Amino acid sequence: MSKSATPHRVAWPIALTLVALIVATTIVVIFLRLESWPARTAHQSTAELERVGKNLRAAFVDIAHLQPRITINDRVYMEQTTPVSELVVLSRRIEVEHELLHTWAGSSKRVKLHGTFLAKAGFDLRKGLSIDIRPDKIMVQLPRAQILGVEQQQVDVLAFENGLWNRISGQDVQSELSVLPELAWKKAAQSELPAEAEKNLQEQLEQRIHTGQPLRLVFKDESKSE
């Protein structure tokens, strides 16, 4: 009986030693993982922010054909390339009319024109464009949208009536033709086209950028920043 019990008495200390080694190894591994967790988390967070930065760069290259200046936690990630001066987001047809009616000595002349123009709304990027990416938000700063151009598409003569001695001159026609673009600019500026351009850019970026942070566009006025 004493001989058969000896192996058991020897095996128990060995088993306990192995268990102690396993427990100690596990504790060391957990400690090392916990110690390196902040660094690993920071690395993963930075990698995710850089991924967002690359996606934003690709979006602006696609939309505006330029690479904007991008910062990540106040660190410059990408410098801005030579930008195009303007970013056109929306275009809309604008129609205006103007009439000249002049009477002299009982003789009247009348010219009435109808103009069709293409108004373009977007952003003047010479006034600045920057992107700041942070863990809790993405901020894109750019100027307010505005009417960037009005292109004449067509002019129709609705009335061209000479008086008996009060005749229509070439200067009359040139004057009326010059009024039409001014009216088109004014009509486009008073429309909702600039506001729609800002909303459209927000939607385009959100469709291209899939991230957990909120994407905020900050539009700066010429006189003050928002």
Q: What is the mean pLDDT of residues 160-180?
A: 92
How far apart are alpha carbons 66 and 145 in whole angstroms? 17
The reported pTM is 0.66
Banded pLDDT at 222 (limits 50, 70, 90): low
Residue 121's closest CA among 139, 94, 141?
94
pLDDT of residue 44: 40
DSSP secondary structure string, 134-182?
ETTEEEEEEEPPEEEEEEEEEEEEEEEE--SSSPPPHHHHHHHHHHHHH
For 3-60, the pLDDT digits (tens) are 555 555 556 666 666 666 666 566 654 544 445 444 433 444 767 777 777 777 777 7
Q: In the chain, what percentage of residues exceed pLDDT 70?
A: 72
- Amino acid letter, residue 213: Q
- Amino acid letter, residue 42: A
How far apart are alpha carbons 130 and 123 in whole angstroms? 13
The residue written with tokens 């009326």 in the block is 176
